[in-house]
Amino acid sequence: MNTEFLTITNLIIALTCVVSYLLMQNREGKSQVIFHPVTIKEKNQWYRFLTSGFIHADWWHLGVNMFVLWSFGNAVENYLYPNFLGEFSTLKYMGLYFGGIIVSSIPSYFQYQNAPHYAALGASGGVSAIVFAVILFEPWQNLYLYGIIAIPQILAGLGYLYYSWYMDKKGTDNIGHMAHFTGAVWGFFFTVLMNVELLPRFIEKVMEGPSWL
């Protein structure tokens, strides 16, 4: 049996795809698990902080999140976390991802706890946490935008944070930009807290600059 295929990342992806598929056109079922601050406050349904990460608005939303999670998650789970965080790395990895989903919704909860119209869904907070854990380990490694354009991860990450902050303040679309921002911050600092020696290592790597300079 191929144990590399049976990773926590791939199991999360499989479960998320199944749940998202089953509830994508099931409005009643989706309403039971979606992140809805008013319902959480009135009925103490705190599980929604987590369950909302297993449902998505459409196939595009699901596909982008799961592709990014697959691309970065397996690297973190199989190579980065075990090598730098030692024992219980699988539990720490799950804390990284699921913690990202939960923590990323906290600002929205306080902002919209009295707004019945507001609801949110998707795994973007957890996915952002995974991506920023990778940036912590290898800040100058290239990301490939559209599979072609090479951008150092740290520059892409800073751009992502600024864009998320700016678009949240602008508030002109229905995307949870603050959840992206908060999830990213969680991913970086949660990983540092798991091994504080990673922070000076990160700073040293950033100061060294990319290998091509």
3 inside domain: no
165 inside domain: yes
Counted domains in the chain: 1
Count Cβ atoms below 10 Å from residue 113 Cβ, excluding itself.
15
Helix (H, G, I), strand (E, B), or coil: what is residue 182?
Answer: helix
160 inside domain: yes
213 inside domain: no
Query: In whole angstroms, what is the distance from residue 92 CA to residue 104 CA?
Result: 17
Are 35 and 48 within 8 A, CB to CB? yes
Q: What is the pLDDT of residues 32-83, one digit of tens each?
A: 999 999 999 999 999 999 999 999 989 999 999 999 999 899 999 999 999 9
2 inside domain: no
Of 173, 61, 44, which is closest to residue 109 (Cα–Cα)? 44
Q: Tokens for 52?
A: 């909302």
197 inside domain: yes
Query: In whole angstroms, what is the distance from residue 50 CA to residue 52 CA?
Result: 5
1 inside domain: no
Mean pLDDT of the chain: 90
The pLDDT confidence band at residue 2, using thresholds 50, 70 and 90, is: very low
Return the ∠ at Cα 63 (arms to 186 and 21), rounded to 5°: 105
57 inside domain: yes
The pLDDT confidence band at residue 6, using thresholds 50, 70 and 90, is: confident
Q: Give me the pLDDT at residue 55, please.
A: 96
Of 57, 51, 54, which is closest to residue 13 (Cα–Cα)? 54
Instruction: List the domain range (segments joined by +) for residue 30.
Output: 8-208
**Amino acid present at 209:** G
Q: What is the pLDDT of residues 109-153, one digit of tens each?
A: 999 999 999 999 999 999 999 999 999 999 998 876 655 677 888
- Whether the pLDDT of residue 160 is over 60: the answer is yes
Q: Output the domain CATH number for residue 56.
A: 1.20.1540.10
User: Whose structure tokens read 């319902």?
Assistant: 39
